[in-house]
Amino acid sequence: MAPQIQSERIKDILPSDIRRLFDLAQGIKGIISLGIGEPDFVTPAHIREAAKKALDGGQTHYAPSRGIPALGQEVAKRYQRDYNVTVDPPKHFFDFNGGIQALFYVTFATINPGDEVLLPDPGFLCYPNLVLSAGGKIVNYPCPEEKDFKPDFDALEAAITPRTKAAFLNFPCNPTGAHLYPDEMKRLVKILTQHDILIISDEVYDNIIYDDYHSVSALQYGTVDQMVVVNSFSKSYAMTGWRVGYTLGPEQLTNAIERIYQNSQTCINTPAQFAAVAALTGPQDSIGKMVKSFDERRKIIVDGLNDLRNISCFMPKGAFYAFPNISGTKFKTSRKFSEEVIKQAKVVSVPGDTFGQRGEGYVRMSYATATEQIKEALERIKGIL
């Protein structure tokens, strides 16, 4: 008999169909991808230089598991400056290989089998897989289009039970581009903390915000003992390939994570940490330039989508994704729409049901793509509707 390879934990992880769609797109000549969730900019020069300098200066060794001290200190300064929040880095800070690894370790270190975890629907597709792999039970809270994809607060509160252990928040949101005003974040944090629910606030897009919205952190409305903030350098500094993210969370959790980390990862890439410090201490104008450019493209894609027959699109308030409602088109379902748009228009989008049941009827299109490509993609889609 062959050995049983997969653990029960891994078997639970939902299969993703995105890969299949991207495979379908592979090899099609002239394809335009609106599928990828990363800035199309190169990391700013001063950040790249800092990594080179670190390498040339011999920073080629293991770093502390919690990161080089300067990294935690600079993150703490940033939270103080931007959010008026005080954290003590050695106690509350931990660095990771990107926000996604932070989410993995946080889930692993906090969720017990049978714990209920509140997840946004639609929401980032990793959350349900992480919760399932920890043996947790997914409880979705709706973030419907009629509420600008913000949480339905009553439904969220009604979903809370004595077994609710944690809630994932994600503002600005991937895939919808929804964001919250400060009073809405305050209300959300209040509901959850009143029930002693651990907040896991994924704030990786917190610098990419539009219109009358502003950066807001859950930490502004609660204490570091009540929540874990997950953040990353990937999106704000166009550093997706460097893999630097972090958490700010309860000391007890940071200590627990360190124990697992020392047995699995040791530390993150040392020169990349020096680059991240330079990102925080150097000029911040690259963020503004990038956001300005995303903003221009946001308007082009959303206006263009709204001009298309039977498609309507919410104007995103953060991140770089449009989430058009395509349920009125002849393709009707997200999957059919994405498939036909790849085949007939040679444009890649991600079907909305990938992000949860309530994502059905929508597709996600990243506008971190050259303007000309966005315009061309819209023209092509127009031709097949």
Ligand X SMILES: Cc1ncc(COP(=O)(O)O)c(C=O)c1O
- Output 174 or 207, the one with its CB closest to ligand X: 174
Distance CA 204, CA 283 (A): 19
Does 174 engage in binding with ligand X (CB under 6 A)? yes
Applying CB under 6 A, the span of 69-77, 95-103, 129-137, 371-379 interacting with ligand X comes to 95-103
Applying CB under 6 A, the span of 56-64, 98-106, 211-219, 330-338 interacting with ligand X comes to 98-106
Does 124 engage in binding with ligand X (CB under 6 A)? yes
Q: Please, which of residues 15-54 interact with ligand X by CB under 6 A?
A: 37
- Phi, psi at 222, each rounded to 5°: -155, -170
- Output 311 or 363, the one with its CB closest to ligand X: 363
- Work out which of 73, 220, 240, 327 binds ligand X, going by CB under 6 A: 240
Query: Token digits for 368?
Result: 């971190």
Q: What is the SS3 assignment for 158-219? A: HCCCCCEEEEEEECCCCCCCCCCCHHHHHHHHHHHHHCCCEEEEECCCCCCECCCCCCCCHH
- Work out which of 68, 75, 100, 377 binds ligand X, going by CB under 6 A: 100
- Work out which of 178, 204, 224, 345 binds ligand X, going by CB under 6 A: 204
Applying CB under 6 A, the span of 19-27, 97-105, 179-187, 285-293 interacting with ligand X comes to 97-105
- Work out which of 215, 234, 273, 286 binds ligand X, going by CB under 6 A: 234
The minimum distance between CB 334 and ligand X, in angstroms, equals 18
# chain residues binding ligand X, by CB under 6 A: 13
Does 367 engage in binding with ligand X (CB under 6 A)? no
Does 304 engage in binding with ligand X (CB under 6 A)? no
- Work out which of 99, 142, 249, 304 binds ligand X, going by CB under 6 A: 99
Could you please report the per-residue DSSP string of 245-309? EEEE--HHHHHHHHHHHHTTT-S--HHHHHHHHHHHHS--HHHHHHHHHHHHHHHHHHHHHHTST
Applying CB under 6 A, the span of 51-59, 232-240, 329-337, 351-359 interacting with ligand X comes to 232-240
| 3-class state of residue 31 by DSSP | coil
Contacts of 249 by beta carbon, 8 Å cutoff, 6+ apart: 92, 94, 106, 224, 227, 228, 229
Q: Please, which of residues 131-170 interact with ligand X by CB under 6 A?
A: 170
Does 247 engage in binding with ligand X (CB under 6 A)? no
| 3-class state of residue 137 by DSSP | strand
Applying CB under 6 A, the span of 6-14, 94-102, 269-277, 288-296 interacting with ligand X comes to 94-102
Query: Token digits for 79?
Result: 């939270």
- Work out which of 120, 245, 304, 316 binds ligand X, going by CB under 6 A: 245
Could you please report the per-residue DSSP string of 302-354? HHHHHTSTT-B----SBTTEE--B-TTSTT-SHHHHHHHHHHHH-EE-EEGGG
Applying CB under 6 A, the span of 93-101, 183-191, 193-201, 270-278 interacting with ligand X comes to 93-101
- Output 233 or 331, the one with its CB closest to ligand X: 233
Q: From 182, 170, 188, select the one nearest 127 (Cα to Cα).
A: 170
- Work out which of 107, 217, 232, 254 binds ligand X, going by CB under 6 A: 232
Q: What is the SS3 assignment for 217-242? A: CHHHHCCCCCEEEEEECCCCCCCCCC
Residue given tokens 């020069």 in the structure block: 45
Distance CA 314, CA 235 (A): 22
Does 172 engage in binding with ligand X (CB under 6 A)? no
- Output 164 or 234, the one with its CB closest to ligand X: 234
- Give the side-chain half-sphere CA count within 13 A for 160: 19
Q: Kindly list the residues in this chain that would bind ligand X in the complex (CB under 6 A).
A: 37, 98-100, 124, 170, 174, 202, 204, 232, 234, 240, 245
